[in-house]
Structure 1
Amino acid sequence: MNNFFRVAFFTVVASFVVSCSKGDGNSVVPKRDYAEQYATDLANIEEFLQTHYMEVTNNAGNTEDQDVSFYEIPEGGTQTSVWNQTIYPLQAHYVAQDDITYKIYYLQLRQGSGANTNSPCNLDRVLTSYRGSYIYTKKETVNEVEVETLTLKQFEESITPESYLTLSTLIKGWSEILPKFKTGSYSANPDGTLSYSNFGAGVMFIPSGLGYFNNSTGSIPGYSPLIFSFKLYEIQRVDNDNDGILSYLEDHNSAIVNADGSVTTINGVPDGYLRILEEDVDNPDDTDGDGTPDFLDIDDDGDFFTTASEIKNPLTNDPFPFADIPLCSDGKKRHLSNLCHH
């Protein structure tokens, strides 16, 4: 990879913010072993799922539609746990990072009524309401005996969002789970507001290694497993390298092709768009094999002409595939004018 592309790529990667919300007083505690912390987080998440039940509000067309609340099952209670309930089957998504295969549990309350093209990829911007909470161990004394129970504490909520969130700047759990959902529909109200319906709605349970890990962010303690409930209202496509091709179209395993939804960067596979793997692993999203993924590569096919200049034939103004321009009879690349030079 030439120096320009290498600098451009790492500049973009360095700018990615691993945060969903930032607050004053952020602090960092000493790092623990990733594998050991993941084992603790997973055990706590699974215990929470097995000891709590949930209630979902079904009120189509209203703000509270698909709101979800979690409650601890009291001793002797007959409520069905989140783990055992079957109305919204608990699902798992796996992410390879830090030499660990993380498991993200999630619930699909509703996938969303939109077409496949209405699902975000992991680089897009989303308009979403959400509620964020973290799981922690509460200690209390009962009959002179210290008892520990897992409980939930809310740290943030956005009910009527007015701005889009960029998935590539959020904690990893978001960019892994949101592509599994679709948008719905909306209608305008007399006061100028919009009402959303049939939108995708879900809950994700994120180990700290895919969240803030040892960073204490705002009111969230370090090493906290996170729970986000969310509703996907709208998406905005992005063009990271400004080459005239939206980044989701430069995901060659995207929903348009075979329902991947994740743009891969360096020698990666779909579940790790910021992950560097072995040198001999081909990146399906790197057309010319120069080590720079297409969504960051201004020359996707490595012919020294920018992708933006190859999107349309200057003579006819007709679009043609930038990576499939037919060669001239002597085997050389055609000129941008689509004419061969002799």
Structure 2
Amino acid sequence: MNKFKYYFILLITTVSLFSCSKDDAAEIQPPRDYAEQLATDLTDIEEYLKNYSITVTSHPGFADDQDVTFTKIPTGGTQPSIYSYLNSTTFPKLLSKEVKLHDITYTMYYLVLREGVGEKPSNVDGVLSAYRGDYLSRQKVAEVETLTATFFEESKNPQQFFNLTSTITGWGETFPEFKTGTYSSNADGTVSYNDFGAGIMFLPSGLGYYDSGNASIPAYAPLVFSFKLFAISRIDSDGDGIMNFQEDLNGDGYLYNYSNTINYPTPPADAIRYADDTDKDGIPNFLDTDDDADGVSTKTEITGANGVLIPFADIPSCDGNTTNPARIKRHLVKCN
């Protein structure tokens, strides 16, 4: 009898706990409108650009080369704001670009401290990059609201490449505007980097983490990343033997997967949608194992009789020409 009474009380308690949890659960809010949030983010970003100055460390060959310090310009201060570098003919140079995503056109800013002297990555490559990240938010102290930058993460000596297809959109949109530099190995096993591309990206939340946030980053926070581009890792996402950047048919450095209906609810015009999609099946070549839809995989088509993949530079065009640098690759356009 006592045992029955015990289990009955336990059952009532459990039901009560679940009922309270359900009743007290926070109401889930739908995501904000992308266009409205972009307007808010741009207001914050442009205020930050107009009210902060930067100091850049020039220390070639050392880890602190191109480190950036941000300083709020005091009332009456004469320091040049970041915004004063907009469209400058010399470095630092603040530029803006448009990014079409979520059925709206984002405006994002990026500051070029140094362009770099090596290769540019595409937005579907891997990058080795040192970086520091801050997020922008408005804080109210003594009834006075101020725009504040809060540090959240830093990597001074990166040990791994970031695949730009797996990072936030803003990284993929910014890194192709920069180049790598040179490097040398030191006797102690470390590596020294020189003449690398370095800059700062200022990202609306829609090109960052938007409503989800990330770890210590709140939802809807604009992001500021200072970064250095040390090296590139070329990636072959579909495993067809052709690197992603080599499947960039129009050569603009950007390849997009328009079949992603979250990012692209409304597909763009065909000229844009199929710019890097030979067979127009909605899957861009860098993700398509059969680019020309002939039923034979690209990898099979570029494998020689000896079973070895033919180097990209030696893949013949439809007429068999391997010497014309402007030739159309067989795997990109079906030969009739």
* TM-score interval (norm. to shorter): 0.7 to 0.9
Correspondence 1:111-260 to 2 at 5 A: 111-114=115-118, 118-141=119-142, 146-254=143-251, 260=252
Report the CA distance between 1:90 and its aligned residue. 1.1
* 1:91 match: 95
Query: CA-atom RMSD, angstroms?
Result: 2.4
Superposition pairs of residues 15-54 of structure 1, within 5 angstroms: 30-54=30-54
Partner of 2:112: 108
Residue 266 of structure 1: how far off its partner (Å): 3.2
Distance in 2 (alpha carbons) for counterparts of 1:315 and 1:242: 19
Number of residue pairs the alignment of both structures matches: 284
Q: 1:136 to 1:278 in 2, by over 3 A?
A: closer
Q: Distance in 2 between matches of 1:301 and 1:170?
A: 29
Question: Which residue number in structure 2 is paired with residue 310 of structure 1?
Answer: 301
**CA displacement 1:15-67 (0-9 Å, x = unmatched):** xxxxxxxxxxxxx8642111111100000100110111111111111101011
Does residue 54 of structure 2 align to residue 75 of structure 1?
no
280-289 or 39-48, which moves further after superposition? 280-289
* Deviation readout 1:80-122 (Å, 9 max, x if unpaired): 11111454121001101122110110001111111xxx11111
Question: Does the aligned pair in 1 maintain the 2:59–2:66 contact within 8 Å?
Answer: yes
User: Does residue 1:298 correspond to 2:289, yes or no?
Assistant: yes
| Cα offset, 1:77, TM superposition | 1.2
SS in 2 for 1:53: strand
* Amino acid of the structure 2 residue aligned with 1:136: S
- More displaced stretch, 194-203 vs 311-320: 311-320
TM-score (norm: length of structure 2):
0.79
Greater relative CO, 1 or 2 (CA 8 Å, sep 6+): 1
Identity of aligned residues (%): 48
Structure-1 separation of matches of 2:185 and 2:239? 32
Q: Contact 2:101/2:263 (CA < 8 Å) preserved in 1?
A: no
Matched with 1:264 is 256
Which has the larger displacement, 93-102 or 203-212?
93-102
Q: Tell me which protein shows more helix as a share of its residues.
A: 2
Cross-structure match for 1:277: 267
In structure 2, list runs of 5 or more residues that go unmatched. Answer: 1-27, 321-336
Segments of structure 1 that go 5 or more residues without pairing to the other structure are 1-27, 255-259, 327-342
- Measure, in 2, the Cα distance between the counterparts of 1:322 and 1:89: 42
What CA distance in whole angstroms lies between the structure 2 residues aligned with 1:323 and 1:174? 34
The answer on 1:288 being equivalent to 2:279 is: yes
Cα distance in 1 for partners of 2:205, 2:290 equals 37
SS in 2 for 1:215: coil
Q: Taking structure 1 as reference, are residues 294 and 273 closer, same or farther at Cα in structure 2, changes over 3 Å only?
A: farther
Aligned partner letter, 1:50: K
